[in-house]
Structure 1
């Protein structure tokens, strides 16, 4: 079936939702999606998670537990609007420095405007670049975070290797992503909500349901918790674990550069 999840062996490189596309074509299609939804990105996450993404992100930052000292640096990838970066900086009592990296300029523009409004211009900088080719030297960051972004990266294995490369020894990797629902009945309810309601709501709210259809399908294709954990280990990370949220609707994976 076209809607079966990919495995730890890969398959997301050419999966644009349930459609298979030519190698190298996916990134451009994904970019178009996020140009369309950038101004309504937080609303989109509210729709797709029933507002729970805010709690999951708070839990992610709590597990990261950024220290309250100057000089600690985090790279937040695919985090254009600044949602995770701002939380981390605030949790560190504005001592940490966050670099927000996104391939999509529209998303970064939203984040930069939000950072200025919050007075976080000195704590957060924004870089337009590809997660598969990070423009930083080896061992630059104390932590690497990515929330609801890795399933949109064509070559996930390459992105994970890059995450490992730019982390300092002892650095932490955290990835929050929609995952496989592991509670009976909830999986059916969530599936019905995702495929029937979200594209229709997206069409009403944003005037275009197709970006939301892709996002729902990309969740269904993404490797489950165990398979994604295996990919993280293959990239070199140790002590790989994960926590399920809301019955597995989302999962937070953790790994360390030991």
Structure 2
């Protein structure tokens, strides 16, 4: 790889200087923050709620656990995790985007979800000591990270021995007959929906492109192993539209 290649990264289908990605992604999520929850429901026909419930079920949380929710957006996974903790333990909700984190905090407080810590942080440079958490969860956020390998290493670093990372992310369909329909929806319907609902087609075009550029199931599993996580595996959901990856620290 040339130095030029190593200093650039994907932004959807574009190649941009790596130093610009955080701000470019931040602009996308600042643009969509106000309609983020509505668009999630419309884009997935409500399936994202099922995927998140399944992820928290796989987390095997219990009262007393310390849990870190990264790229937490408006807090869906945090809210579900808090139910499992039952008022005992530690719940940290973190995002790099202040607009998303603020919206998530306001939403959870309005819903009566109290006792959550809110931390503005970059997944690649987590502001937590080693071995701080029993579970680290990231839902639909890893594909927006500039240096995924470094982010995965940071997730492992803050895990306690015996804990594990869960990565919920869009993935690669294993039912090839659905691909043309999925592509039509992603690149034609989704941007139009974004324009009508959120007044922003380009941000949703980026989101569709970022899904296609994200590593497939086997590649991400190997990346997690390369970051030092062990017994890495994954579970496909909805035909591989999304997958939940898991990796342990022993």
Q: TM-score, normalised by structure 1?
A: 0.92
> What residue in structure 2 maps to residue 82 of structure 1?
75
Q: Separation in 2 of the partners of 1:133 and 1:184?
A: 37
Tell me if 1:237 matches 2:237: no
Tell me if 1:127 matches 2:122: no
Tell me if 1:91 matches 2:78: no
Secondary structure of residue in 1 paired with 2:68: strand
Deviation at 1:12, TM superposition (A): 11
Of 202, 207, 211 in structure 2, the residue corresponding to residue 210 of structure 1 is: 202
> What residue in structure 2 maps to residue 39 of structure 1?
34
> What residue in structure 2 maps to residue 172 of structure 1?
164
Q: How does 1:134-173 map to 2 (within 5 A)?
A: 134-173=126-165
> What residue in structure 2 maps to residue 224 of structure 1?
216
User: Which deviations, in whole Å up to 9, do the C-alpha atoms of 1:8-28 show, x marking residues without a partner?
Assistant: xx9896100001101211111
Deviation at 1:92, TM superposition (A): 2.7
Higher percent of residues as helix: 2
Secondary structure of residue in 2 paired with 1:100: strand
> What residue in structure 2 maps to residue 23 of structure 1?
18
Deviation at 1:50, TM superposition (A): 2.5
Given that 1:88 and 1:96 are in contact with CA atoms closer than 8 Å, whether structure 2 keeps it comes out as no
Q: How many pairs are equivalent?
A: 246
Give the unaligned 5+ runs of structure 2. Answer: none
Given that 1:82 and 1:115 are in contact with CA atoms closer than 8 Å, whether structure 2 keeps it comes out as yes
Deviation at 1:117, TM superposition (A): 1.5
Range with bigger deviation, 166-175 or 39-48: 39-48
**CA 144–11 in structure 1, closer or farther in 2 if over 3 Å, else same:** farther
Range with bigger deviation, 84-93 or 161-170: 84-93
> What residue in structure 1 maps to residue 61 of structure 2?
66
User: Which deviations, in whole Å up to 9, do the C-alpha atoms of 1:134-182 show, x marking residues without a partner?
Assistant: 0000000110000000000000001000000001111110000000011
Q: Separation in 2 of the partners of 1:206 and 1:183?
A: 31
Q: Separation in 2 of the partners of 1:113 and 1:158?
A: 30
User: Which deviations, in whole Å up to 9, do the C-alpha atoms of 1:62-117 show, x marking residues without a partner?
Assistant: 111211x23x1100000031110110111232334210110100001111112212
User: Which deviations, in whole Å up to 9, do the C-alpha atoms of 1:184-236 show, x marking residues without a partner?
Assistant: 31122111111110000100001110100000000000010000000000001
Given that 1:89 and 1:96 are in contact with CA atoms closer than 8 Å, whether structure 2 keeps it comes out as no
Range with bigger deviation, 10-19 or 112-121: 10-19
Q: Separation in 1 of the partners of 2:100 and 2:18?
A: 24
Tell me if 1:101 matches 2:94: yes
Deviation at 1:119, TM superposition (A): 2.2
